[in-house]
Amino acid sequence: MSLTILTIDDSRTMRDMLNAALTPSGFTVVQAEDGEHGVEVLDGMEREPDVIITDINMPRKDGFAFIEDVRADPRHRATPILVLTTESDAEKKQRARAAGATGWIVKPFDQDKLIAAIRRVAAYSG
C-alpha cells in the first residue's frame, strides 16, 4: 500500500517539485496551497495521510498555526508532520517542535533525504 502525503506550500513551483519527487517513489500526493487550505483538505480526506509536509511562511495561515490546528484535533495527533522551509533559525525550529512538528527539512531539499525522512517518520508512527 502506498503512503499518502499531504503537502502544503504556497509556491506552485514547490508543490510541483514535491509531486515530481514523491510520485515516482510510489507516494500518493495530495496538495494544499496554504495552512487554511491544508486544514480544509485534511478534513476532507477519506483517510488520514501517512505524513504531512508543510511550509512555514504562507499567507492566510502559516505553518505554525497549521501545525497547532492539526495537533488540537484528536484525529490528527499521531500524524507525522515534517516542516519543509527555507528557514533554518533554531528558535523557529523549536517553535515548530513545540507546536507538534515531527521533523524539519531545509529547502532546497534533497529528494533521497526527503523520501528517507518520510519513510522513517511514517514507520515510526505506524
Whether the link from the prior residue into 108 is cis, omega within 30° of 0, is yes
> How large a percentage of the chain has pLDDT more than 70?
97
pLDDT in tens, 5-57: 999 999 999 999 999 999 999 999 999 999 999 999 999 999 999 999 999 99
The pLDDT of residue 15: 97
Q: Measuring CA to CA, how many Å separate 101 from each of 24, 25, 76, 104?
A: 26, 23, 12, 8
9 phi, psi to nearest 5 deg: -155, 135
Question: How far is it between the farthest Cα atoms of the chain?
Answer: 37
pLDDT the model gives residue 125: 53
Q: Taking a C-beta distance cutoff of 8 angstroms, is the pair 69, 39 a contact?
A: yes
Task: Give the CATH number for residue 50.
Answer: 3.40.50.2300
Domain that holds residue 60: 4-125
**60-82: average pLDDT:** 96
For residues 10 and 66, the answer to whether their CB atoms sit within 8 Å is no
59 pLDDT exceeds 80? yes
Beta strands per DSSP E along the chain: 4-8, 28-32, 51-54, 81-85, 103-106
Domain count, the chain: 1
